């Protein structure tokens, strides 16, 4: 979020945050409006299962997988968003030959220069042989520099004059000067066309020539393994001679949205609410490097959930809701029955406390998200994001920080993740940060990590940037 959107969000944060705590800016002992909490911010649930410290839970998630799947080689246009499995090494010099950086004339030696007959040199065309001292040839940007050329004179820095000489007359003597076409077009008066420099433009050897290997030489390492394949990387790879790239395939993720109370169209009615996580999770997981193979709504049917969990072949299964200890919270019993290894069972973080991470089988994991929307986002950052970084080959994220524009209250024992708007290394906490709310994070650039006890205004806090964040923070 940038510009005026950031300003509006910041203004709203400053104006609303102190008005009415129970409107959504939750501090110790507060929460958002009623929703599918399933234990979120429930003191009884918190007491029964205090959860791992948030930094420890993220560390476990980042070590749960041994690494990405085996590399594959794919066509360039199939690799966007994946990660390089090998360093990108130049297969050719860039440029592969000396080229003109400007439209104008390739010149040899000191001027004025006699224009070589012909249409000139264009990009992608063969050269015009070798220039001798005192000669010039018209050239277009990107065209190959002919042998013997010492510089390029830009079109705006030169002028052609056509001269007619009686036989044997010295061309340096008095001449009949008439303007000539810069390309020496057919139909002009007979005689030699001479190129002159306009004014006192200085010329240096190699001027406006891109020399062979200026950007890189064959064998140079352009990017390390682990670099995400962006549009710019695709362009660089193509320029460097690649048709295919060795990449780590995206980890395959399946989403199971739980809850009988969820609607997929229309307005809430008769105790039913709209499903916010179904539309949110798939694109968010793709932004984290995953290939979402399916997203299904299963309701609160334990047997259907058991079948889905035990038959899934995805690298990562993501469930929503059902992670606490309520009457329809089936995730824990199903994991126990399936013999899963519970790696994280509750995290001391608000929102998102009743999240979990389990190993279903070697190379296959399940992340259980709470049912409340912002709590689920918190769990995505806490457990799914570090796990997906390993599975996709991206490696750990760089630590980012920003200075908070105002103090943020903290939970006595738990870390808090608070939506913030970021600009220029400063972070403005946003309102509407209750576990069931998405309004705050929808206007945010990231989440501030607030340690137990809270922080004062001006504190340099760790930032978890949203995958589509476009601004800047210090690192």
CA of 81: how far to CAs of 22, 232, 272, 384, 398, in Å?
Answer: 41, 11, 37, 17, 18
Separation of alpha carbons 270 and 276, rounded Å: 17
Write down all domains in the chain, each with its CATH number in brackets: 3-29+398-465 (2.40.340.10), 52-68+249-392 (3.40.980.10), 72-93+221-248 (3.90.105.10), 97-211 (2.170.190.11)
- Give the pLDDT of residue 255: 96
Q: What is the DSSP string of 364-394?
A: EEEEEE-SSHHHHHHHIIIIIHHHHHHHHT-
Residue 293, φ and ψ in degrees, nearest 5: -85, -25
- Give the pLDDT of residue 176: 36
Q: Which residue's entry shows tokens 């036989």?
A: 167
Q: Which residue's entry shows tokens 């806090």?
A: 461
Q: How many CA atoms lie within 13 A of 342 on its CB side?
A: 18
Q: Give the DSSP H or E segment for 66.
A: none
- Give the pLDDT of residue 470: 60
- Give the pLDDT of residue 260: 76
Write the pLDDT tens digit of every residue in 310-343. Answer: 999 999 999 998 888 777 788 999 999 999 999 9
CA of 171: how far to CAs of 107, 112, 117, 164, in Å?
Answer: 19, 11, 17, 9
Could you tell me the two tokens for 363?
Answer: 């190379």
- Give the pLDDT of residue 30: 31
Residue 9, φ and ψ in degrees, nearest 5: -65, -40
Q: Give the DSSP H or E segment for 472.
A: none
The residues, any chain, with a CB within 8 Å of residue 37's CB and separated by 6 or more, are 31, 324, 370, 371, 372, 375, 435, 436
Please name which of 195, 180, 239, 235 lies closest in space to residue 215, comparing C-alpha atoms: 239
Separation of alpha carbons 79 and 454, rounded Å: 43
The residues, any chain, with a CB within 8 Å of residue 99's CB and separated by 6 or more, are 123, 142, 143, 144, 145, 209, 210
Residue 57, φ and ψ in degrees, nearest 5: -65, -40
Separation of alpha carbons 51 and 368, rounded Å: 14
Write the pLDDT tens digit of every residue in 198-229. Answer: 877 767 889 999 999 999 999 999 999 999 99
Strand bridging mode 252-258 / 316-320:
parallel
- Give the pLDDT of residue 300: 82
CA of 411: how far to CAs of 28, 205, 401, 416, 427, in Å?
Answer: 5, 68, 20, 7, 20
Question: How many other C-beta atoms can be found within 10 angstroms of the C-beta atom of residue 173?
Answer: 8
Dihedral angle over CA of 433, 288, 51, 47, nearest 10: 30
Residues of the chain with pLDDT under 50: 1-49, 164-190, 472-475
CA of 239: how far to CAs of 85, 88, 234, 236, 243, in Å?
Answer: 19, 12, 9, 5, 10
| Cβ(245)–Cβ(225) below 8 Å | no
CA of 403: how far to CAs of 8, 28, 383, 429, in Å?
Answer: 19, 22, 25, 11
Could you tell me the two tokens for 23?
Answer: 């409107």
Cβ-in-10-Å burial (0-12, 13-18, 19+) of 190 comes to exposed
- Give the pLDDT of residue 270: 86
């Amino acid at each position: 979020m940038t510009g005026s959107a950031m300003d509006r969000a910041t203004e709203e944060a400053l104006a609303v945050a102190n008005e009415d705590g129970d409107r959504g800016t939750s501090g110790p002992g507060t929460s958002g409006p009623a929703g599918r909490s399933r234990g979120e911010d429930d003191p009884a649930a918190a007491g029964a299962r205090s959860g791992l410290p948030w930094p420890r839970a993220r560390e476990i998630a980042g070590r749960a997988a041994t690494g990405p799947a085996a590399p594959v080689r794919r066509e360039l246009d199939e690799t966007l968003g994946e990660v390089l499995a090998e360093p990108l090494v130049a297969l050719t010099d860039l440029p592969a030959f000396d080229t003109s950086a400007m439209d104008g004339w390739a010149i040899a030696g000191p001027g004025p220069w006699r224009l070589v007959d012909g249409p000139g040199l264009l990009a992608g065309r063969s050269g015009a042989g070798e220039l001798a001292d005192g000669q010039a040839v018209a050239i277009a940007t990107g065209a190959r520099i002919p042998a013997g050329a010492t510089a390029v004179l830009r079109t705006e820095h030169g002028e052609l004059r056509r001269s007619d000489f009686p036989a044997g007359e010295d061309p340096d003597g008095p001449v009949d000067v008439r303007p000539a076409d810069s390309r020496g077009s057919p139909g002009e008066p007979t005689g030699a066309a001479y190129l002159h420099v306009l004014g006192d433009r200085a010329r240096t050897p190699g001027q406006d020539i891109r020399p062979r290997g200026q950007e890189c030489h064959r064998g140079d390492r352009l990017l390390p393994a682990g670099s995400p394949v962006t549009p710019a990387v695709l362009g660089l790879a193509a320029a460097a001679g690649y048709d295919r790239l060795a990449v780590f395939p995206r980890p395959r993720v399946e989403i199971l949205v739980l809850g009988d109370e969820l609607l997929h169209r229309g307005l809430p009615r008769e105790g039913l609410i709209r499903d916010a996580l179904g539309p949110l999770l798939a694109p968010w997981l793709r932004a984290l490097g995953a290939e979402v193979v399916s997203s299904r709504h299963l309701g609160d049917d334990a047997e259907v959930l058991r079948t889905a969990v035990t038959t899934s072949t995805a690298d990562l299964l993501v469930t929503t809701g059902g992670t606490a200890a309520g009457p329809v919270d089936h995730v824990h019993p199903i994991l126990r029955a399936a013999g899963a290894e519970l790696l994280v069972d509750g995290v001391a973080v608000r929102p998102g406390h009743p999240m979990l991470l389990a190993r279903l089988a070697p190379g296959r994991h399940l992340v259980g998200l709470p049912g409340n929307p912002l709590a689920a986002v918190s769990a995505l950052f806490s457990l799914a994001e570090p796990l997906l970084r390993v599975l996709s080959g991206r490696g750990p994220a760089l630590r980012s920080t920003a200075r908070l524009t105002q103090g943020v209250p903290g939970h006595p024992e738990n870390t808090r993740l608070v939506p913030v708007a970021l600009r220029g290394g400063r972070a403005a906490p946003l309102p509407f940060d209750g576990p069931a709310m998405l309004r705050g994070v929808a206007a945010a650039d990231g989440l501030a990590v607030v340690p137990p006890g809270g922080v004062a205004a001006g504190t340099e806090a760790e930032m978890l940037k949203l995958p589509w964040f476009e601004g800047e923070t210090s690192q």
